[in-house]
């Protein structure tokens, strides 16, 4: 809550309350309440009914209300006309313009400026998301709390994303899952949820028997320690090749994996080592991406009893079928989900069986650790696995788990389209680290093209890395999730257009305007007191436009939760940056009279804070200099 915002509201006049309105965090809510209050009186309708009718979609003004939705006696046009006539400007709303069955409202500019900039100033410093959600366990990674809300307070979730397979390439599907999943985790936290980030590794199965056999002939301890992810893949490729010639290798692999399944400590020790080293390496790479996990789970971590219980229950059910060869399968054709095998003829479980067991295991773990199950569990997996996810959700439902019933809305598959043309020079197999290295190198080359600027960059390596990753992430999140896109180096690394580098560049520029002016003696204090700022001087249309964008940030965070599209946040970030880059021309700081210069600096700082918050929500690391 913003104390300054409270003062502004006290000065403007009392507002009614509404459960969805939080005017001390979301400035636009104050204006919605003010409009709703007038409407409610004029139409003699409850505030609840009219509040939701106040929409921000107007091109003509700031808010619009469509009268037909009230289903009043008489013509909507006449009601609109009467209310527009009766309208009296209050501190919040300056003007009401009637247009047929609509009224368009213009917000009072002075109120908008004061309320928005005060709220940003108050909330961007100090207050944390943890305080907001009351979810002390959630290790929120977002620093700015302006934009956050408490709608998810008390709710908890698991979000599973990335989930690569040990000893196999980290393909584009994993990359997208990583980027989108990390974003969604931040988004739910920003909306007040308790969030656990889970990585469900492909870390079990016959391929680990194969890997162990290959290790004897091709393993290199030093290489393993140096880069486990790449080396295990090399060993894996080599052993698969060898197995084409030597058929006994597959038998050996099967035996080895059998020993692992039976819990043989020697067989498990090697696998454990591969797993631990791989996770350590993944963690480093994720850290480079500004991404982390709370739990490294995986196919190996599904307890035998959970798999067995699930299978027993399935076998006793009326939806089970036995194949001629003895395999156990479930017929989901009446749900248009085909048939799915849950137990092979040799009695071993499959990918889907583990997912079924794991889901229940996660539920129980939540109940045990937190006293209740999760309100949501999201799986961020490429659209290639749509059928798999739908099948295993359906099986959980048929098994009768209350939490898996679609009506509960807890289980959700977040899918996404393909990345076209992503390959690495180093071969067709792609590893996350190689992608990041290559991005960094390419970004570094782009930066070098501008000699003068490049000479001023303090740490070009680090800068190239951070900006390069912003490029990859923004390219990934700029479109609707379900769309495919083409991995386009030139486009994504450009400082122009809707790119990650453009966002970084604008953030840096917003940081540097303060630094430069401070050097020339014009210093905005760290703790701005909004009451001392000459807000009436921010009267230009460009200033208002920018402030309106900044005021809409809390709405954008709510909207993104509804549509679960990273592009909702990306588009917002570009609206802000485009407006800021136009504003430099109109809202000069240099050479202006002190009060005006300071209040403009303050506006730029608020823009910087909001832009940084949007970038952080998208998992970007906003740079101070570059
Ligand atoms: N490791 C799997 C793959 O690479 C993705 C795992 C998706 N999550 C799940 N619970 N099945 O294809």
Helical segments of 198-264, H only: 206-218, 221-226, 228-245, 248-261
Question: How far does residue 201's CA lie from ligand 1's centre (Å)?
Answer: 7
ipTM, two decimals, is: 0.99
Average pLDDT over residues 143-155: 87
- Note the pLDDT of residue 626: 87
- Note the pLDDT of residue 133: 44
Q: Among 170, 172, 175, 381, which residue has the most ligand 1 atoms within 8 Å of its CB, making it the best to mutate?
A: 381
177 pocket-lining for ligand 1 (C-beta < 6 Å): no
Q: How many CA atoms lie within 13 A of 377 on its CB side?
A: 22
Question: How far does residue 542's CA lie from ligand 1's centre (Å)?
Answer: 48
Average pLDDT over residues 420-449: 83
Q: Are 514 and 526 in contact (CB under 8 A)?
A: no
Kindly provide the b/e burial profile for residues 106-140, where b requires at least 16 CB atoms within 10 angstroms of the residue's own CB.
bbbbebbbbbbbbbbbbbbeebebbebbebeebeb
> C-alpha 177: how far from its chain's center?
11
168 given a catalytic annotation: yes
| Residue after which a domain boundary falls, among 88, 107, 126 | 107
Indicate if the pLDDT at residue 131 is higher than 50.
Answer: no
- Note the pLDDT of residue 430: 73
- Note the pLDDT of residue 621: 97
Indicate if the pLDDT at residue 136 is higher than 60.
Answer: no
Residues 6+ apart with CB under 8 A from 423: 430
Which pLDDT band holds residue 432 (cuts at 50, 70, 90)? confident
619 pocket-lining for ligand 1 (C-beta < 6 Å): no
Question: How far does residue 473's CA lie from ligand 1's centre (Å)?
Answer: 21
Which pLDDT band holds residue 425 (cuts at 50, 70, 90)? low
198 pocket-lining for ligand 1 (C-beta < 6 Å): no
Does 536 reside within a domain? Answer: yes
d(CA 382, CA 177): 7
Does 271 reside within a domain? Answer: no
Which pLDDT band holds residue 59 (cuts at 50, 70, 90)? confident
> C-alpha 346: how far from its chain's center?
42
d(CA 585, CA 258): 70
Q: What is the DSSP string of 68-89?
A: GGG--SS-HHHHHHHHHHH---
Considering only CA atoms, which of 482, 625, 507, 617 is closest in space to residue 187? 617
pLDDT in tens, 222-258: 999 999 999 999 999 999 999 999 999 999 999 999 9
Considering only CA atoms, which of 495, 612, 552 is closest in space to residue 142? 612
CATH classification of the domain holding 449: 1.10.730.10
Does 580 reside within a domain? Answer: yes
- Note the pLDDT of residue 350: 96
pLDDT in tens, 495-519: 999 999 999 999 999 999 999 999 9
d(CA 577, CA 607): 9
Average pLDDT over residues 400-423: 95
Average pLDDT over residues 155-165: 98
Strands 194-201 and 102-107: unpaired
Domains identified in the chain, total number: 2
Question: How far does residue 160's CA lie from ligand 1's centre (Å)?
Answer: 9
204 pocket-lining for ligand 1 (C-beta < 6 Å): no
Considering only CA atoms, which of 413, 455, 419, 392 is closest in space to residue 160? 413
Strands 156-160 and 295-298: unpaired
Does 434 reside within a domain? Answer: no
Angle of the 541-551 helix axis to the 553-563 helix axis, nearest 10 = 40
| Residue after which a domain boundary falls, among 107, 133, 168 | 107
Indicate if the pLDDT at residue 164 is higher than 60.
Answer: yes
Q: Are 416 and 179 in contact (CB under 8 A)?
A: no
Indicate if the pLDDT at residue 457 is higher than 80.
Answer: yes
Q: E strands along 100-149, which residues?
A: 102-107
Q: What is the DSSP string of 202-218?
A: B--SHHHHHHHHHHHHH
Q: Give the DSSP H/E element, type plus range, for residue 320.
A: strand 320-322
Does 504 reside within a domain? Answer: yes
- Note the pLDDT of residue 429: 59
Domain that holds residue 590: 442-617
| Residue after which a domain boundary falls, among 76, 107, 138 | 107
Indicate if the pLDDT at residue 126 is higher than 90.
Answer: no
- Note the pLDDT of residue 52: 95
Q: Among 385, 411, 415, 431, which residue has the most ligand 1 atoms within 8 Å of its CB, making it the best to mutate?
A: 385
d(CA 476, CA 485): 8
- Note the pLDDT of residue 426: 55
Q: Which residues pair with 156 in a beta bridge?
A: 194
d(CA 463, CA 460): 5
Question: How far does residue 240's CA lie from ligand 1's centre (Å)?
Answer: 22
d(CA 536, CA 600): 11
User: Among the atoms of ligand 1, which is closest to the Cα of residue 381?
Assistant: 7
User: Among the atoms of ligand 1, which is closest to the Cα of residue 358?
Assistant: 10
Average pLDDT over residues 383-392: 98
Does 122 reside within a domain? Answer: no
- Check 148, 171, 231, 440 and give the catalytic one: 171
Tokens 């099967």 correspond to 254
Indicate if the pLDDT at residue 68 is higher than 60.
Answer: yes
- Check 174, 394, 440, 473 and give the catalytic one: 174
Question: How far does residue 164's CA lie from ligand 1's centre (Å)?
Answer: 7
Which pLDDT band holds residue 107 (cuts at 50, 70, 90)? very high
Does 481 reside within a domain? Answer: yes
393 pocket-lining for ligand 1 (C-beta < 6 Å): no
Residue nearest to atom 10 of ligand 1 (CA): 355
Does 413 reside within a domain? Answer: no
d(CA 6, CA 12): 10
Q: Are 574 and 618 in contact (CB under 8 A)?
A: no
User: Among the atoms of ligand 1, which is closest to the Cα of residue 173?
Assistant: 4
pLDDT in tens, 22-56: 999 999 999 999 999 999 999 999 999 999 999 99
The 10 Å Cβ neighbour count of residue 331 is 13
Q: Are 253 and 212 in contact (CB under 8 A)?
A: yes
pLDDT in tens, 376-386: 999 999 999 99
Q: Give the DSSP H/E element, type plus range, for residue 129.
A: helix 129-133
Q: Are 63 and 104 in contact (CB under 8 A)?
A: yes
Q: Are 25 and 554 in contact (CB under 8 A)?
A: yes
The tokens for 492 are 């994504």
- Note the pLDDT of residue 203: 98
Residue 593 has phi, psi (to 5 degrees) of: -60, 150
d(CA 201, CA 208): 13
The tokens for 47 are 């505030």
CATH classification of the domain holding 15: 3.30.1360.70
């Amino acid at each position: 809550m913003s104390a300054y915002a409270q003062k502004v509201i006290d000065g403007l006049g009392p507002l009614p309350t509404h459960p969805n309105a939080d005017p001390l965090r979301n400035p636009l809510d104050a204006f919605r309440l003010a409009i709703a209050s007038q409407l409610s009186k004029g139409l003699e309708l409850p505030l609840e009914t009219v509040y939701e009718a106040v929409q921000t979609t107007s091109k003509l003004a700031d808010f619009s209300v469509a009268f037909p939705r009230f289903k009043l006696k008489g013509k909507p046009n006449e009601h609109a006309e009467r209310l527009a006539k009766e309208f009296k400007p209050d501190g919040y709303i300056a003007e009401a313009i009637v247009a047929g069955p609509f009224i368009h409202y213009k917000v009072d500019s002075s109120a908008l400026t004061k309320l928005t900039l005060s709220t940003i100033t108050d909330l961007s410093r100090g207050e944390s998301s943890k305080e907001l959600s009351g979810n002390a366990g959630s290790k929120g990674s977002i620093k700015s709390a302006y934009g956050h809300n408490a709608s998810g307070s008390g709710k908890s979730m698991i979000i599973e994303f990335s989930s690569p397979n040990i000893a196999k390439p980290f393909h584009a599907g994993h990359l997208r899952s990583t980027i989108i999943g990390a974003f969604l985790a931040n988004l739910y936290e920003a909306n007040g949820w308790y969030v656990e980030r889970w990585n469900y590794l492909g870390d079990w199965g016959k391929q680990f028997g194969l890997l162990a056999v290959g290790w004897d002939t091709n393993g290199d301890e030093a290489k393993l320690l140096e880069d486990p992810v790449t080396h295990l893949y090399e060993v894996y490729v080599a052993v698969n090749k060898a197995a084409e010639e030597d058929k006994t290798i597959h038998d050996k692999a099967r035996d080895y994996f059998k020993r692992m399944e039976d819990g043989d400590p020697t067989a498990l020790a090697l696998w454990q080592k591969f797993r631990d080293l791989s996770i350590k390496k993944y963690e480093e790479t994720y850290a480079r991406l500004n991404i982390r996990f709370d739990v490294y789970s995986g196919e190996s971590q599904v307890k035998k009893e959970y798999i067995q219980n699930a299978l027993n229950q399935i076998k006793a059910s009326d939806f089970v079928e036995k194949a001629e060869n003895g395999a156990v399968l479930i017929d989901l054709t009446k749900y248009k989900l085909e048939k799915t095998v849950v137990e092979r003829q040799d009695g071993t479980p499959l990918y889907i069986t583990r997912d079924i067991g794991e889901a229940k295991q996660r539920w129980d773990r939540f109940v045990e650790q937190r006293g209740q199950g999760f309100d949501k569990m999201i799986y961020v997996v490429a659209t290639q696995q749509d059928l798999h996810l739908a099948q295993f959700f359906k099986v959980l439902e048929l098994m009768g788990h209350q939490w898996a019933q679609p009506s509960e809305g807890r289980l959700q598959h977040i899918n996404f389209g393909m990345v076209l043309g992503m390959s690495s020079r180093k071969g067709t197999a792609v590893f996350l680290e190689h992608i990041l290295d290559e991005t960094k190198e390419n970004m570094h080359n782009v930066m070098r093209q501008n000699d003068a600027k490049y000479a001023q960059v303090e740490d070009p390596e680090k800068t190239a890395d951070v900006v390069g990753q912003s490029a990859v992430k923004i390219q990934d999140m700029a479109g609707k999730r379900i769309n495919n896109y083409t991995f386009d180096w030139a486009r994504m690394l450009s400082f122009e257009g809707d790119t990650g580098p453009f966002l970084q560049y604008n953030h840096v520029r917003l940081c540097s305007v303060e630094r430069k002016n401070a050097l020339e003696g014009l210093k905005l204090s760290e703790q701005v007191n909004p009451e001392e700022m000459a807000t009436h001087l921010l009267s230009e249309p460009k200033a208002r436009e920018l402030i309106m964008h900044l005021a809409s940030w809390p709405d954008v965070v709510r909207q993104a939760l509804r549509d679960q599209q990273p592009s909702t946040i990306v588009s917002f970030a570009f609206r802000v940056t485009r407006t800021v880059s136009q504003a430099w021309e109109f809202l000069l700081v240099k050479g202006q009279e002190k009060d005006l210069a300071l209040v403009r600096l303050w506006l730029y700082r608020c823009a910087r804070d909001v832009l940084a918050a949007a970038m952080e929500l998208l998992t970007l690391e906003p740079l101070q200099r570059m």
